[in-house]
Every structure is written in structure tokens, then in C-alpha cells.
């Protein structure tokens, strides 16, 4: 693909003034050929491969960033779902040994995060799936750069409520095992998890992927916000067109970087994930885009409609710019990582219920929000089930990254610092759904899934 002089100048302006960057380059790595019944041998082989490939990824990403002048913020790896790797290992320590080996590799290679420590259990769970989940409190609290996931529902299979309940119980243990429940920030529960997602914490290298491929996550909330602010009086049709054209430009830049880096690494180019991913930097906010569209605060009447327009325009622009759009490709609406969302919760404009309603039109879900530490496991299970049901019924990806913050109550705040920001603690309904989630079993797939 060729980039003209005008596009190069526009990209430079986006970088200098509107926080445009490549949020993540994620190297997906197949590890199935390293499966071995002796956990120590397998872990040694995994550590060697990830260290070697991770070192190359970081070095080449720095070279591409310097050559093209486009910041690449995070260098990451996603791996084959870890539950598959430990399947033949009888050692009860296999999950923890694998987690520590992955973390050592990430530290040695200076990779920011490795994702894929998880399981696909949307219909039922294997013994290996359950063993891996049970290791999460210790694995995530004793490592720094490991991220985990569990796919608990899909449109074609329904929802594994037994696994939802297990995850909810383990979230309480994860929260207790790490400072400010930080381990919970490194875990996401999914419905319809994509196999090529470059964003953490939910990235993994799916079974339909090559031995290695490079996926790119772009980031342009600041760019979109700036252009929306220039047109405060245009109608919604024109507003959609303005956003679409802007996302076209940032997607082109993302694909250019991704293809260049994939070529240098000698791997196939995977996808550009066009999700708008906010940060705590001033102006780099999806909530501020919604404000520029005409909302006083995120959560005001009209928020879901505005978000639907934004998402559609983002997808139109990205799909027109690239034939390799994939991953999540939605709009992240995390509470802790977006200053406008934080302020909306703090002033009472945005509730947990309204946030859930917004996810009905957003392909990312309930992300990085905190609830009181004494929230019971059955309430966490209900929150997870509600969100995954939205994805399951609507044939879309949804996820949940919830932090039950020990000792915190509504109105308090959990400050993670850095990229994760701070999360004001949100109120959870005092009414119980324990008898429903406690039934367990599998929620049948929606009838619309029967399309064969």
C-alpha cells in the first residue's frame, strides 16, 4: 500500500497534537507443538521460544517506529490457550510453572504483556480448563506481565453458567491475593472471543491462526475527538461521515506500520483492530468524543444512540481503509482509563446499569470498572452473565473486566496508576439474583444461532 505526502503530513499532525499512536503490536505465537507431559520440559521450551520471538519483536518494533515516526506504545505476545498446553501434564503445579515461565520470558524480552493464559469453555469445561482457572489467583498475583481470559459463552453454544460461577468465585480470591485487586485487571471473561485480538487482557492466539502472525491495535480517540469538536452544529449524517473519514486515515497508518513490522519479522500480517482505545492522557478520551457529539456527560439520555453512531462510523471507515480489519474493532469504554468516564461516574451521570446498556451497541463490553469489595460472588456472576448474554444473543463479542476492590465502597476510588488509571467504585444493586445464577448448567444458545 502506498501513502501519499498529504497523508503523511496528516498523520504527523495526529501524532503531534492528538495523541495518535499504535497502541499495540501483538505477535500471535502457536505453542501447540511444544505440548509435553513433563511440565518442566514444556515450560523450558515455551520460555525459550517466547524470549527469542519477543526480543525480535521489541527490537524490530523500535526500528519501525523510528523509521516511520509513528509511536508504538506496547509490544505484546499472544499464545495458544494455556489450558490446551497443560492438558497432558499430570503435575498439579503445571499451570503455575507455565505462568512463571511465560512471565520470565516477557521480562527477559521486555515485552509489555503476554496474553492467552486461559481457556475456551463456552459450552463445557475440561479438567485442564478447571485446573487452569483455579490457578489464576496465584498465577496472576505472582506475575507481572501475564494476562488471562476465559471464553464463557458463544452465540452457537450458549453460556456455561457453571464456569461463570467458578470465575466469579475466583475473582474474589484474585482480589484478595493482590494489592488493590490488580490481578482482576489482568483477566477478562468473554462471549464470542475473537482469535486475533491484539488488546489485553483478552488476547490469545486462536486455533484458526498461523504459526505466527502480527496483529495491530490502533488508537485514535484524540484524533476523532478533535475533528468532532470542529463541527459542533452539523447533522448526524454529516457527523458520521466526518468520523468515517478520520478513522479511514488512522487505519491506513496502522496497516502501514503492521505490514512493515510483519515483513521484518518474517511472519504473516494478521489484522488491524480499529477499536478506539482511550488513555488517561488529556483529550485521549471516548467520553470526550461523546461530549463533543452533544452530550453533557456520558450517561446522559442519548448516550447509547451516540455511541451506536460512533461505532458504526468507526467500522465503516476502518473497513473501507483495510481488508484486514479484525479483532474487537469496537470502541473501548473503560471506566478507569478514560478521564471523561471517570468524571461521569464520580458526578453520578453514569451508573453500572447505563454502562451495561451502552455495551449493547459496543463490541468490547464492561471494561475496567470497580465494585465494592464485599460484593458477593453471586452478584459478580450475575453481572458477568448479563453482559455475556448481550454478546451471545446479539452475535457479537462482549467482555467483562471487573475489579471487586477490597475494603472499598461506592464513592471510593482505586488508583492503579499508569495506563490502567483510577476506578471510582460503582454501586451494585442490593437485590439478589443468587437463585438464578446458582442453578448452574448451560444456558441454551439463542434460536437465531441455528442457521445451518
Give tens-digit pLDDT for 355-385.
Answer: 999 999 987 889 899 999 999 999 999 999 9
- Average pLDDT value for residue range 392-421: 89
407 burial via Cβ count (<10 Å: 0-12, 13-18, 19+) = exposed
Residue 279 pLDDT level (bands cut at 50, 70, 90) = confident
* Domains 24-191 and 215-431 fall in the same CATH topology: yes
Say what the pLDDT of residue 29 is: 96
Say what the pLDDT of residue 167 is: 97
Say what the pLDDT of residue 37 is: 94
Q: Looking at per-residue confidence, does 153 or 323 come out higher?
A: 153
> pTM score, two decimals?
0.91
How far is Cα 285 from Cα 223, in angstroms, rounded to an integer? 10
Say what the pLDDT of residue 9 is: 43
Quickly name the fold that domain 24-191 has.
Anaerobic Ribonucleotide-triphosphate Reductase Large Chain (3.20.70)
Quickly name the fold that domain 215-431 has.
Anaerobic Ribonucleotide-triphosphate Reductase Large Chain (3.20.70)
**Cis peptide preceding 201, ω within 30 of 0:** yes
pLDDT tens column, 28-46: 999 999 999 999 999 999 9
- Please provide the average confidence, as pLDDT, over all residues in the chain: 90
> Does residue 318 carry a pLDDT above 80?
yes
Segments making up each domain of the chain, as ranges:
24-191, 215-431
Residue 451 pLDDT level (bands cut at 50, 70, 90) = low
Residue 249 pLDDT level (bands cut at 50, 70, 90) = confident
Percent of the chain at pLDDT > 70 equals: 95
pLDDT tens column, 94-132: 999 999 999 999 999 999 999 999 999 999 999 999 999
Amino acid at each position: 500500500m502506498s501513502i501519499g505526502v498529504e497523508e503523511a503530513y496528516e498523520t504527523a499532525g495526529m501524532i503531534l497534537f492528538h495523541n495518535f499512536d499504535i497502541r499495540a503490536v501483538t505477535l500471535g505465537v502457536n505453542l501447540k507443538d511444544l505440548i509435553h507431559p513433563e511440565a518442566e520440559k514444556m515450560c523450558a521450551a515455551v520460555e525459550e521460544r517466547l524470549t527469542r520471538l519477543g526480543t525480535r519483536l521489541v527490537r524490530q518494533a523500535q526500528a519501525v517506529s523510528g523509521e516511520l515516526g509513528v509511536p508504538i506504545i506496547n509490544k505484546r505476545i499472544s499464545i495458544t490457550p494455556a489450558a490446551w498446553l497443560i492438558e497432558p501434564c499430570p503435575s498439579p503445579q503445571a499451570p503455575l510453572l507455565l505462568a512463571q515461565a511465560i512471565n520470565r520470558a516477557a521480562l527477559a524480552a521486555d515485552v509489555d504483556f503476554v496474553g492467552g493464559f486461559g481457556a475456551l469453555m463456552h459450552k463445557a469445561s475440561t479438567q485442564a480448563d478447571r485446573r487452569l482457572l483455579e490457578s489464576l489467583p496465584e498465577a496472576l498475583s505472582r506475575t507481572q506481565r501475564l494476562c488471562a481470559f476465559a471464553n464463557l459463552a458463544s452465540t452457537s453454544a450458549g453460556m456455561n453458567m457453571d464456569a461463570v460461577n467458578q470465575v466469579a468465585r475466583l475473582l474474589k480470591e484474585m482480589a484478595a491475593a493482590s494489592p488493590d485487586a490488580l490481578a482482576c485487571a489482568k483477566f477478562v471473561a468473554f462471549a464470542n472471543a475473537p482469535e486475533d485480538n491484539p488488546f489485553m487482557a483478552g488476547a490469545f492466539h486462536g486455533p484458526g491462526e498461523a504459526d505466527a502472525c502480527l496483529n495491530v491495535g490502533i488508537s485514535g480517540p484524540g484524533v476523532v475527538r478533535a475533528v468532532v469538536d470542529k463541527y459542533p452544529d452539523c447533522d448526524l449524517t454529516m457527523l458520521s461521515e466526518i468520523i468515517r473519514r478520520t478513522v479511514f486515515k488512522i487505519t491506513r497508518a496502522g496497516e502501514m506500520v503492521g505490514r512493515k513490522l510483519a515483513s521484518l519479522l518474517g511472519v504473516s500480517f494478521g489484522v488491524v483492530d480499529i477499536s478506539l482505545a482511550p488513555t488517561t492522557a488529556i483529550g485521549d478520551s471516548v467520553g470526550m468524543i461523546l461530549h463533543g457529539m452533544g452530550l453533557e456527560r456520558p450517561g446522559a439520555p442519548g448516550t447509547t444512540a451516540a455511541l451506536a453512531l460512533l461505532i458504526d462510523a468507526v467500522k465503516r471507515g476502518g473497513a473501507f481503509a483495510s481488508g484486514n480489519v479484525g479483532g474487537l474493532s469496537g470502541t473501548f469504554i473503560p471506566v478507569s482509563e478514560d478521564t471523561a468516564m471517570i468524571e461521569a461516574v464520580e458526578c453520578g451521570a453514569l451508573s453500572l446499569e447505563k454502562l451495561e446498556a451502552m455495551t449493547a451497541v459496543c463490541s468490547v463490553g464492561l471494561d475496567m470498572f470497580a465494585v465494592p469489595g464485599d460484593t458477593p460472588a453471586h452478584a459478580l456472576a450475575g453481572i458477568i452473565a448479563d453482559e455475556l448474554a448481550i454478546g451471545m444473543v446479539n452475535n457479537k463479542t462482549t467482555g467483562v473486566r471487573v475489579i471487586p476492590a477490597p475494603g472499598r465502597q461506592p464513592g471510593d476510588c482505586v488508583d492503579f496508576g499508569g495506563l490502567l488509571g483510577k476506578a471510582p467504585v460503582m454501586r451494585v444493586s442490593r437485590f439478589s439474583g443468587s437463585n438464578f445464577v446458582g442453578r448452574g448448567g448451560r444456558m441454551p444458545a439463542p434460536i437465531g444461532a441455528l442457521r445451518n
